[in-house]
Amino acid sequence: MDFCNMYEQYYQRVYYTALKVTKNHCSAEDILQETFIKAYDKLDEVQEVGKVGAWLSTIAHRKAIDLLRKEKKMVILPIEELPLPVPKGDDMSSDVEQICEYHHLQENVKKRIITLTPKLRAVFQLSYIREMQEKEIALELNISPPLLNQDFTVPGR
């Protein structure tokens, strides 16, 4: 079977299979791409051309479920251990991918910060952005230090 014809014939089916599971257009597009990459690699193993649509849908469905499982994995870390790589000035000019990844990470962190309660958001900003110690934060916010020892949920670790 010709890969281009297969793609044209089944890309909508694969996309909607992924969208039905993820309920996210961007994730469905990623899964669409991953599905056809896998299909391209395994194209020589296809025995029944009539079942290609079902085969592709199965791949997409499984990849969508894997993505959802991956997104649900959360690890609890103290706020001091929250990783946020700071790019080096000289290296950044030569690596566009690294720049994009850094900006994407910054956006994700900003989205997560917004979900914190106002008190925890203030603690995060003082601790991570202003690099204040627990005692300094407690004095600044007029709170007791045990609040600072709460664990935070960080996705993808």
* CATH number of the domain to which 16 belongs: 1.10.1740.10
pTM, 2 dp = 0.47
How would you write the pLDDT of the chain (157 residues) with one tens digit per residue?
Answer: 688 899 999 999 999 999 999 888 988 999 999 999 999 998 888 888 888 999 999 999 999 998 888 877 544 455 545 555 555 555 545 577 777 787 788 788 777 877 877 777 777 778 777 787 888 888 887 777 654 445 444 444 3
User: How many domains does the structure of the chain reveal?
Assistant: 2
- Count Cβ neighbours within 10 Å for each residue of 104-129 and write b for 16 or more, e otherwise: eeeeebeeeeeeeeeebeebbebbee
CA dihedral 117→122→125→131, nearest 10 degrees, is -130
Residues 109 and 146 in one domain: yes
pLDDT of residue 126: 80
pLDDT of residue 94: 54
pLDDT in tens, 30-59: 999 999 999 999 888 888 888 899 999 999
Residue 76: strand pairing partners = 153
Residue pair 35/60 in contact (Cβ under 8 Å)? The answer is yes
CATH code of the domain covering residue 133? 1.10.10
Residues 92 and 59 in one domain: no
